Structures are given as structure tokens and as C-alpha cells.
Amino acid sequence: MASIKRLLIGSPMETKRLKHEKLPKWKALAVFSSDALSSVAYATEEILLVLMLLGTGVFFFSLPIALAILVLLVVVTLSYRQIIYAFPSGGGAYVVARDHLSTTTSLVAGAALMIDYVLTVAVSISSGVAALTSAFPSLLPWKVDIAIALVLLLMTLNLRGITESATVFAYPTYLFIISVLVLIGAGGWQLWHEGWHGFNYREHATASHFLSSGYGMFILLRAFASGCSAMTGVEAISNGVPSFKPDSSKNAAITMGWMSFLLGTMFLGITVLAAGFGVTPLEHKTVISQIGQHVFGNSIFFYLFQMVTMLILVLAANTSFAGFPQLASIIAHDRFLPRSLSARGDRLVFSNGIILLSVLAMILIVVFHGETHSLIPLYAVGVFLSFTIGQFGMVKKLWKEKNGRSAVTIATITTGMVVTGLVTIITVIAKFTQGAWLVIISIPLLVVLFYKIRAHYDKLGEQLRLDEQEWKRREKIVEPKVIIPISGVSKVVAQSIQYARSISHDITAISIIFHEDEERKLREKWEKFYPDIELKVIYSPYRTILSPMLDYINEIEKQTKGAPITILMPQFIVKKWWHTLLHNQTAIVLRFFLILKKDIVIATLPYHLKE
Amino acid sequence: MASIKRLLIGSPMETKRLKHEKLPKWKALAVFSSDALSSVAYATEEILLVLMLLGTGVFFFSLPIALAILVLLVVVTLSYRQIIYAFPSGGGAYVVARDHLSTTTSLVAGAALMIDYVLTVAVSISSGVAALTSAFPSLLPWKVDIAIALVLLLMTLNLRGITESATVFAYPTYLFIISVLVLIGAGGWQLWHEGWHGFNYREHATASHFLSSGYGMFILLRAFASGCSAMTGVEAISNGVPSFKPDSSKNAAITMGWMSFLLGTMFLGITVLAAGFGVTPLEHKTVISQIGQHVFGNSIFFYLFQMVTMLILVLAANTSFAGFPQLASIIAHDRFLPRSLSARGDRLVFSNGIILLSVLAMILIVVFHGETHSLIPLYAVGVFLSFTIGQFGMVKKLWKEKNGRSAVTIATITTGMVVTGLVTIITVIAKFTQGAWLVIISIPLLVVLFYKIRAHYDKLGEQLRLDEQEWKRREKIVEPKVIIPISGVSKVVAQSIQYARSISHDITAISIIFHEDEERKLREKWEKFYPDIELKVIYSPYRTILSPMLDYINEIEKQTKGAPITILMPQFIVKKWWHTLLHNQTAIVLRFFLILKKDIVIATLPYHLKE
């Protein structure tokens, strides 16, 4: 066991090796943007999939929807650039809300963020596998298996503790950016020469009667909400300001600008190409891969493009492996999550958080059969909810401080907050029946759970506090009453009795028999070896050991008021693991139940077998 | 947990309720023959499936093969009728071989029988589900699930302890016998009127060139071996002689005769009808169901026939639930299997044996996708091997006794032995590549396992034996050295120290810290409360507890030669199960490893939390 762990995870690392590296802008862009940029691999498709409910005739509407999302992106970017300057120490929505709003609000943000981290893994990995199977359809039957394998790979790498800032992680991001820009360039050139042969405004006219209905508008809103999945992860840079080289705020703000510009360009470009080429979503071929095939044909470039897309999506999933355990440890440190989530493992990473994230993501992947489209509706609610709460906290803090921050800053962040708040509401309404309800139910449930956990720890602390008053009323020290369950006379019994004599003079052996005629023989042998120790024999007609044992302990408790009761249990330690199966595990079951039900000490004596 | 168990399994039963009922012949026939008679539901099909390798042109050969199997049945029946008179106390091949041949031979028989019991469950249930899906093809996708559900149902019923001799179990057997006889009668009448329109001797001539080749002969032998699956379970009556009403031997012999007569008639009748109607094996419709549909049409009788067929097959599987745990308990009593298989549970049944059988059968069903045909090749080897060993043991005993048993008896059983021995060899050769190799490998592996288990128990007995010599050299009694791991000063620590004081004066508290600066604060508080107790603080740079703990114990061991070391470990007992997740489970892991590696006593103190 331990050696397998070492092989996979590596040797333990000292606490002192925890350190932070400062990143140049070009590297920071790669490190913090893979989540945001990778979403262009699926965002356009999600818009088209929703529009399909009204027929392909309305596909032209993907363009105005994409423009609306670009406007949203600009508003959010401006707001977060102000935040970068105002809060150079970083800190996500949870910390900001905790410090400047109320506990409940911060827990809502925390719950939303945790759900989104899990969804980022599930969505990015599913989408990455879709990129792979679009190029190699023969892999389709193993879609879910490949996704699970990728999650397990990320889990193992992160349990080893990968340095997120390693230069090697910068390559896929830039490869992806270049690939998409080349795609857009070449595709644009083709479109120019071939002419716009996809969906156009003329169809708009025939489709517009759909939209006059409330249902049509509702579908448009839903398409917008789905497209907003392109925005996930844009706040990452603002949380990472301390990792930038000085002047860190300025560098982070510049990087944020570049990131948004790239994201906007790529997203718009892909949406235009999809409309221009007349791409329709297919079940087993992603929209972006159809564009890729249209532009690159079946050449090696198409396959390379798909591999790069998959790589960036896996990298995007990996960002959650840094974010989720970090957030969970902060919440656990505030005692709203189990303490075990706040402890660093022997490789200096938050091992339990990493494992928890992997397990949850794998459950989502299995339940939703690795379908990106089924997971997307759960996505945007949490993202925009935490955007809104985070910005609200910032505004409130700036307002309180009044330390000369310009009104522009406050106005910009307030605008961001209002807009993201509106998007949250739109998302909740437009995607409620598609799965968003699951998130909307989960968030309050998680908040309740957080409070219950905190209440348990608080009460525990009270119960365990040792005050001097109480401590001074020290109880009288009485020898324990020792009970030794036996089934015959053997070396194990001899060892138990030897130990019992070392801790007490009040010793009773107890034997539970299933046939009444066993008593005589046992007593005879006992008298020969241990005439000075009392032997109690109990006949159990139902061949159970636990209940006669409990009855006997109850009886003893009544007799010996106050004296501690100790039960000595021998345990065979076998040389080969499978020998365990050859021994009765009654002792283990018995120990479990006795300690659960009674206030007695159970002393386990190992008996190491020679073979 | 306990209450779910009670609901499913019922209340515990006293040991004294173990009793035996004496059966009249008609009931005994039903109880002991379901396994044998039910095999006519698949035996003919198995012959045809093998013959299909040569084309349907050779299907006419199913008739001579069936006749050969009938001859075999007569020989085995005559032999077992003699055995019934010679060994009225019953006893299967394992016991006979153990008492009259060698241990190894008996273990070979035991292994073969255990494998066959598992296969009986897997084959009968799979075949029963095939009867169901032949009538209701829409159930096909859930084939494996239904099979698993049936095994779980049988497991639950048997854990409750069903009386195998209950009259209710007699009905399905007689219903099945009557149904098949009606089928044969009506089918024969149809055949007479419609004329023989299936496979006939004329095709034989065209097919005979196949058979002139060695391959053709080999396939014929393989078809014969597959057909021998009809013979499984015919020995059941000879093992059950003590259950018959007196004169039990005579009654058992008469019943055996009837059983064989019915089995032979039904098997031959179905084979003739299959040939006459020209039935070909289909993937999703059993041969017997095709005959049924031919005779009964799509009337209600066809569906009833399928249900009765399924019922008898489930009943056949149920016989293994009596046989396997009984055999396992006998072998376990001889210490060749884990002791836990020999203990009766609280409902007086061998619970562990029942569960083991169910698990193994379910594994077979899942691995072989619930296909009867894939399981059959594994089947006959074990059956005929145990027939042969059993008869060999009987002959040897009779020979040794020479108490006037007639030469006829010995000659009859010897003939049976030789014939079944030959069939064993044929089966091994003809079906080796089809899966029989699995059984041929498993039997010696099981025998090796049996011996390894026995060796472990023997060595254990030697190690544990307490001789008076040794016992008199009683060791000096020394107070234990008590170690209390702590992480702070709390009521839990107070309770631990209170207990420690009651058993020893040599107490040390030990605290393992992850940051060097924690020591000062801890020592300050400790001095205030327990100045008289030594506190050892160890800094663990790798944030592990186990290894510094082991190092410390090693050190203590060197210092205090001979004195027992006791580690006090508090364990929180929570009020709600999920609170367990909120507490560090380090103590449990620590206890597990410490007790494995060191010769120390671990005393667990429960701390029952109030909420």
C-alpha cells in the first residue's frame, strides 16, 4: 500500500518547501487563462443547440447573442480591472464576502464556487473527450472511460503536487490561441472567397414570427445564458494578483485586458465562421471540429487542432485542481467544512480536497454520461452568482473606506455587479427546468450543511474545554475491573492474563458457549491453570456473542459503581494477508459495538503469529 | 443495519430447533430430483449446438447420442441403487473418499463438488431466465439483471432457512413432470399425424463423410459430453437416504428407479420431438420453448409451460443452497476451509456458505453474461469426476469388508465407476478448449488451497498450545509503561490521564507537531494542568504521525526492557453517523499500523459526545 502510494505520489516533502514564484505577464496569461479561453471550444455550440429548438432558421441569431456576450465580457473586464487595482492582495468571492458582507452571503458564494469548480472539471474533461472523439469516432464507446481516466490522471499529478506555474503548462495555451487564430484567419479567407453560404438575415425574416411569441424570446434568453459559459474563469487573474511580478497590479490589469481581448476575438470568430459555413450541431462531432474540418480538410492540421483543443480543455480542468482544494481549505479553516480538508498531505498539497474534487467530478461525468450539453445548464448560475457577490463585497468595502477611491472605480464595479446580477437571474429562469434547479437546490443545502458542521465543531469545543475548576475536583483513582473473553485455554489467554495482572487485581474471564455441555470441560481445564481467576460461563442459545456480553457488562456496571471497566481483546496478527480470512473476526465486530454502546475501555493485545 | 437484517432474515432461532423430518417417497422424489429432472430443459439443446458445428445435416445424430446417454443413465442408476443398500447412512463423494480412500482424493472430490454446486446455480438460473426470455423477448436486455435478482432472492430465502422438505416445493416438480409428459404426448400425436418432417436418416448418408474424419468423431464425442449435463444431480437421492421413511433404503431405491425412468423418458422424448419437428437452436429462443410453441401454439399453455420450466430450474438452483453450505461446513470442520464456514448463523443455517455460494454464482453469471451455453462446458467434468471417486470409495470399502455383500453389488458399482471414469476422460478431452480447462486448473488449485489452510490451522494450534511446563515459568508482573498521544489539553486528555493513573504510575504524554513554534504554547498549558506527567514533543517535518510514533516506541522499547507498553487512544463516539467525517480518523489508522508492527497493547477509550 505505502509503496504504491510512494510510486504514484512521490516521497514526502518538508513543510518549509512551501514557496511562491513570481510570474511574468506572458506566463501568467497562460496559467490563469486556460479555463476562460478553453470555453470557446464549446460556447458557440451551446448557443446553437438551444436555438435548434426553434429550427436552424434562427441560427443567424447566434451572432447578436455573441455580441451581447461580448458586451457583458467588456463590462466584467472593466469591473475586474478596477478590482485588481483596489484589492491587489487578491482573494476570491468567498473571502471578500466573508470579510465585508455577511457569513451567510460568503457561504452562498463558497457553495456556488465549489459547485463551479466541480463543474469546470466535468465540463472541460467531457468537452476535451468530445474533441478527441470528433477526430477519432471509433473511440466513442469509451467516451466515459476516457473521461474518468483523465480525471484520475489529473488527480494523481496534483497529489504529487505539480507547480501550476511550470513553463510546460504555458505551451498548450499559446498553441491553442495560435491554432484558433489561424483557424479564424484561414476560415475568414475561405468565407471571403466562397461567399457566405450559411445562415443569414434573409432567413431571419421567415424566423421572426417565432420570436414574436414569448416562447421564442425565452429560447433566445436561454441561448444567451448557455453562451455565457464562455465567461467562466475570467475572474481567475484578479484572484492571482500576488503571483505577478511587480508592479503586480498594473501587470495583472494588462494581462486581464489581453485575456479578454483574445477570448472575445476567438469566441466571435468561431461564432461567425459557424454561421458563415452553416454548421449545425451534430451528436458526435463538435461544432468547432466541424469548422476545423471545413477549413483544414482531413489533413494532419485538423487532427493537430483537435489534439490541441483537447489539451487546453484538460489544462482548464486542471485549474480547478488548484482552486477547489485551496477554497475548501479556507472554508474548512473557518470550520464550515471537515477539518481534514484543511490539512496539507505529505506532498504539501491539500490531498483530501483533490480527492474530493475528483470523486465529485467523476460522479457528474458518469451520471451525465460525459455529455457536455447536459452539464452546461448547471454551469452559469454559480459563476455569475459568485461574480455578483464578489463585486458586491468590493463595492461595499470601497464605500465604507472612502479613502479617496475615485467614483469611477465604484461606478464601474457597481455596473459589473448589476449586469452579472441580471445575468444570474436570466440564467436561473431560462435554464431552470434544464438542470439549473439542481444547482439552485444544492446551494442552500450546502449552506445548511456548512452551518451544521460549524455547529458541531462549536459544541465539540465547548464539551472538550477543560476548565481549571473542574480539573481540580480530581476523581479518586480506582483499579479497573478487567474482563477477558476467552474460548479455551491457550497461550493467547496466558498472555492476556499476564497483562491483566499488570494493570489490576480484579480480573474475570468470560466464556460464551453455544452448547450447554461445553461448560464442564472448560471449567476443569481452567481450574488446573488459573484457579485464582474467576471464570464466568454464559450459555447463548441463539449463538450470538454480542448480546450476552452486553448483558454481562450491564450487570457488572451495576455492581462496581465508578470503577472503570476494561475488556482485554486479543488480536491475531497474521504473516500473510489472506490468513486473516481464516480467523474469526468476531473480536473486531464486538469491539466496534461495545465501544459504541458502553463507556468501557477496550484494550487490544496483538498476538503476532509466527507463520 | 441490524433491523434490516431482521426484516429480511427473521428473528434468531435456538440451536435446539435443529431437527429432521422423514419424507414419503412422492415428496422425496420432488425434493431430490429437481436438479436432475430440470436438466432436460437444456440438455438436448446443448447436443444440437455442438452438432451445428458440422451443419444441421448431422442433427439426426442427436438420437443415437441421446440413446448412449440413456445407457449411461441406466448404468449409473444401477450402481447407485446398490450404493443405497450398501450405504444407507448416505454421505457424498467427499466423505466416502475421506473415510475409505486418501485425503487428497477426498479433497479432489470436494473441490469438484463445490465447483459443481456453484455451476448448478449459475447454469440453472441462466437457463431459467432463458425460459422466461423465450416467452417474453422484451425482457432480453435485463437477462443478467434478472438472473442476479433470482440468486439474491434464493440467498435471502436460504438465509432465513427454508425447509427444503416443505410440501410447497413438491408442486413445481410435479407440474414440470406433467407438463413435459403432456408436451411429449401431444407432440408425439402431432408428429404421427403431420409425419416426420425434421432431420432424418437420409441426411445421415450425406453427412456421414463428415464423420469419417477424426474431427467429425471428435465433435460427436463433444456433443455426447454436452448431453451428459442431463445427468447432473442423479446422485442426490443416494446422499439423502436417511431422510426417507423406513424402510428407507428400499424406499430410496424405488424412488431412484422412478426418477431415472422419468428423466430418461423426458430427455428422450424431447430429443425425438426436436429431431422430428426439425428444431434448430436459436440465439434467443431455447429448443424446448420452440418445441413448446410448435405443440401449444401461442396459447396460454405455451406461456404456462415456460413459467413452469423456469420454476423448476430455480428450484434446481435452490438444491445447491442446501448442498454447498453443508459440504463446505464438513470440509471446514476438517479444517481445510475457514472455520467461519462451519458455524451456523442465528437462523440455524450456514450463513457464510450461503453467501459465498451466491457471490461465486453471481460472478459466473456476470462473467459469462448469463449464457447457459458458455457455462455448460465447465459442468460435466466435475460431476463425473465426483461420481467416479465416490463409487471408487464405495467399492474399496465393500472389498475391504468382505461381509458377504454379493459379487453382483461390487460388479455393478465397479461397472458404474469405470463408465463414469471413461466419461470424465471423454469430457476433459472433448471440451478442454471450450472452458473445461478452467475446471481442470481450478480443482488442483483448490486442493492446494485446502492444504494451505489446513497447514495454517495446524501450525496455529501448535503455537497456541499452553503446556504446563511453560505456564509454570510465570513471568514477573511489571507495571505497564503508558503512552498517551495528545494534540492539546482537553477533557479527553483529562479522561485518558485519569484512566492511565488507574493502571500505572509510569505515564508519558506525547504530542507530534507540524510547526516548530507550536511547542512553547503547548508546554505552557501542560505545565499548568499536569506538571507531574512527562510531556514529549516531537516535530514532524513531513506532517506524518506514524513514523515519529514508531521511532519513539522503538526508543522506549530499548529503555524499558520487558515492561509492557500500552498506548491510550481516545475515540470520539458521535451521535449522528455523518459526524464521523468531521473527526480526524488518524487514531484508527495509527492503531491499525501500530498493532501490526509492534508488540504493544492499544487501549481505546470511548469519548461519547453529547451531540
Q: Which residues of A touch B346 (CB under 8 A)?
A: 542-544
More confident residue, B199 or A44: A44
Closest CA to A123 of A300, A304, A378, A334: A378
Average model confidence (pLDDT) for chain A? Answer: 86
| Window from A415-429, A451-465, B80-94, B414-428 with minimum mean pLDDT | B80-94
The pLDDT value given to residue B224: 93
Which single residue is written with the C-alpha cell 501500530?
A: B594
Confidence of residue A425 (pLDDT cuts 50, 70, 90): very high
Q: B22-452 domain in CATH 3.40.50.12780?
A: no
Q: Flag if B595 and A604 touch (Cβ within 8 Å).
A: yes
Which single residue is written with the C-alpha cell 441403487?
A: B81
Supply the DSSP symbol for B245: P
Radius of gyration over every alpha carbon of chain A, rounded to an integer in angstroms: 32
Which residue from B339, B477, B501 is facing A502, i.e. has the nearest CB?
Answer: B477
Q: What gap in Å lies between CA A486 and CA A517, rounded to an integer?
A: 17
**By the 8 A CB rule, do B357 and B118 touch?**
yes
More confident residue, B261 or B15: B261
| Window from A138-147, A222-231, B16-25 with minimum mean pLDDT | B16-25
User: On the CB side of A448, how many CA atoms lie within 13 Å of its CA?
Assistant: 5
Q: What gap in Å lies between CA A41 and CA B70, rounded to an integer?
A: 70
**By the 8 A CB rule, do A291 and A281 touch?**
no
Which residue from A346, A503, A528 is facing B544, i.e. has the nearest CB?
Answer: A346
Helix axis angle for B43-51 and B287-296, nearest 10°, is 110
Closest CA to B392 of B421, B367, B365: B421
Q: Flag if B12 and A543 touch (Cβ within 8 Å).
A: yes
Q: Flag if B343 and A573 touch (Cβ within 8 Å).
A: no
Q: Flag if A464 and B13 touch (Cβ within 8 Å).
A: no
The pLDDT value given to residue A295: 92
In degrees rounded to 5, what are phi and psi of residue A440?
A: -65, -30
> Can you tell me whether residue B512 is helix, strand or coil?
strand
Closest CA to A509 of A525, A531, A532, A486: A486
- What confidence tens digit (pLDDT) does each residue in B216-265 have? 888 889 999 999 988 888 888 888 888 888 888 899 999 999 999 999 99
The pLDDT value given to residue A153: 93
Q: Are strands A565-573 and A601-608 parallel, antiparallel or unpaired?
A: parallel
Q: Flag if B502 and A477 touch (Cβ within 8 Å).
A: yes
Which residue from A12, A339, A468 is facing B544, i.e. has the nearest CB?
Answer: A12
> Can you tell me whether residue B607 is helix, strand or coil?
strand
User: Is the pLDDT at A433 greater than 60, yes or no?
Assistant: yes
Q: Which residues of A touch B598 (CB under 8 A)?
A: 606
Which single residue is written with the C-alpha cell 435548434?
A: A52
Q: What gap in Å lies between CA B21 and CA B19, rounded to an integer?
A: 7
Closest CA to B167 of B11, B326, B21, B41: B21
Q: Flag if B464 and A573 touch (Cβ within 8 Å).
A: no
Closest CA to A443 of A108, A116, A114: A108
The CB density around residue B246, as the number of other CB atoms within 10 Å, is 8
Which single residue is written with the C-alpha cell 450559411?
A: A198
Q: Which residues of B touch A544 (CB under 8 A)?
A: 12, 346
Closest CA to A62 of A223, A208, A288: A223
Confidence of residue A542 (pLDDT cuts 50, 70, 90): confident
Residue range(s) occupied by CATH 1.20.1740.10 in chain A: 22-456
**By the 8 A CB rule, do B516 and B538 touch?**
no
> Can you tell me whether residue B102 is helix, strand or coil?
coil
End-to-end CA distance of chain B: 22
User: Is the pLDDT at A430 greater than 80, yes or no?
Assistant: yes
| Sequence-separated (6 or more) residues with CB below 8 Å from residue A484 | A493, A496, A497, A500, A507, A508, A509, A510, A567, A568
Q: Which residues of B touch A601 (CB under 8 A)?
A: 499, 603-606
**By the 8 A CB rule, do B590 and B545 touch?**
yes
**By the 8 A CB rule, do A567 and A600 touch?**
yes
**By the 8 A CB rule, do A116 and A124 touch?**
no
Q: What gap in Å lies between CA B289 and CA B307, rounded to an integer?
A: 11
User: Is the pLDDT at B404 greater than 70, yes or no?
Assistant: no
- What confidence tens digit (pLDDT) does each residue in B285-320 have? 999 999 999 999 888 999 999 999 999 999 999 888
In degrees rounded to 5, what are phi and psi of residue B201?
A: -65, -30
User: Is the pLDDT at A204 greater than 60, yes or no?
Assistant: no
The pLDDT value given to residue A289: 94
**By the 8 A CB rule, do B571 and B604 touch?**
yes
- What confidence tens digit (pLDDT) does each residue in B276-288 have? 888 889 888 999 9
Cα distances (angstroms) measured from residue B508 to each of A52, A474, A568, B170, B487:
73, 19, 22, 71, 13
Cell numbers for B403, please give them.
461381509
**By the 8 A CB rule, do B33 and B254 touch?**
no
Question: Which class does domain A481-608 fall in?
Answer: alpha beta
End-to-end CA distance of chain A: 21
Closest CA to A93 of A76, A82, A107: A107
- What confidence tens digit (pLDDT) does each residue in B411-438 have? 899 999 999 999 999 999 988 888 889 9
> Can you tell me whether residue B284 is helix, strand or coil?
coil
In degrees rounded to 5, what are phi and psi of residue B571?
A: -135, 125
More confident residue, A168 or B267: B267
CA-based nearest residue in chain B for residue A574: B596
Closest CA to B199 of B133, B277, B316: B277
Which residue from B457, B581, B596 is facing A338, i.e. has the nearest CB?
Answer: B581
User: On the CB side of B480, how many CA atoms lie within 13 Å of its CA?
Assistant: 27
User: Is the pLDDT at B486 greater than 60, yes or no?
Assistant: yes
The pLDDT value given to residue A404: 62
- What confidence tens digit (pLDDT) does each residue in B570-586 have? 888 877 777 777 777 77
User: Is the pLDDT at B163 greater than 80, yes or no?
Assistant: no
Q: Which residues of A touch B571 (CB under 8 A)?
A: 595
Supply the DSSP symbol for A244: B
The pLDDT value given to residue A610: 76
Q: Which residues of B touch A605 (CB under 8 A)?
A: 601
Closest CA to A154 of A339, A304, A359: A359
**Which one of B15, B577, B610 makes the best mutation probe of the A interface by having the most chain A beta carbons within 10 Å?**
B15
Q: Which CATH number fits domain A22-456: 1.20.1740.10, 3.40.50.300, 3.10.105.10, 2.30.40.10?
A: 1.20.1740.10
| Window from A99-103, A370-374, B55-59, B270-274 with minimum mean pLDDT | B55-59
Q: Flag if A492 and B573 touch (Cβ within 8 Å).
A: no
| Window from A432-446, A495-509, B191-205, B396-410 with minimum mean pLDDT | B191-205
Q: What gap in Å lies between CA A183 and CA A305, rounded to an integer?
A: 9
**By the 8 A CB rule, do A221 and A425 touch?**
no
**By the 8 A CB rule, do B86 and B100 touch?**
no
Which residue from A515, A571, A601 is facing B15, i.e. has the nearest CB?
Answer: A515
Cell numbers for A72, please give them.
457583458
Confidence of residue B205 (pLDDT cuts 50, 70, 90): low
| Sequence-separated (6 or more) residues with CB below 8 Å from residue B293 | B302
Q: Calculate ∠ Cα A256-A258-A261, nearest 5°.
A: 110
More confident residue, B215 or B102: B102
**By the 8 A CB rule, do B582 and A457 touch?**
yes
User: What average pLDDT does the segment A496-510 reach?
Assistant: 91
Q: What is the ipTM score, two decimals?
A: 0.75
Confidence of residue A84 (pLDDT cuts 50, 70, 90): confident
Alpha-carbon torsion (B477, B483, B484, B488), positive or negative: positive
Q: Flag if B541 and A14 touch (Cβ within 8 Å).
A: yes
User: What average pLDDT does the segment A535-543 reach?
Assistant: 86
Q: Which amino acid is at B394?
A: M
Q: Which residues of A touch B451 (CB under 8 A)?
A: none
Nearest CA distance, B322 vs chain A (angstrom): 20
Cell numbers for A192, please give them.
471571403
Q: Flag if B14 and A542 touch (Cβ within 8 Å).
A: yes
The pLDDT value given to residue B16: 65
Q: Which residues of B touch A481 (CB under 8 A)?
A: none
User: Is the pLDDT at A315 greater than 70, yes or no?
Assistant: yes
**By the 8 A CB rule, do B529 and B555 touch?**
no
The pLDDT value given to residue B15: 66
**Which one of A493, A539, A542 makes the best mutation probe of the B interface by having the most chain B beta carbons within 10 Å?**
A542
> Can you tell me whether residue B569 is helix, strand or coil?
strand
Q: What gap in Å lies between CA B205 and CA A153, rounded to an integer?
A: 64
User: On the CB side of A373, how many CA atoms lie within 13 Å of its CA?
Assistant: 16
Residue range(s) occupied by CATH 3.40.50 in chain A: 481-608
Nearest CA distance, A296 vs chain B (angstrom): 43
The pLDDT value given to residue A360: 96
CA-based nearest residue in chain A for residue B578: A453
Residue range(s) occupied by CATH 1.20.1740.10 in chain B: 22-452
Which residue from A340, A591, A608 is facing B584, i.e. has the nearest CB?
Answer: A340
Q: Which residues of B touch A339 (CB under 8 A)?
A: 582-584
**By the 8 A CB rule, do A524 and A489 touch?**
no
Given phi > 0 = left and psi -120 to 50 = alpha, else beta, which region is A370?
A: left
Q: Flag if B543 and A15 touch (Cβ within 8 Å).
A: yes
CA dihedral A592, A597, A601, A603 (to 10 degrees): -20
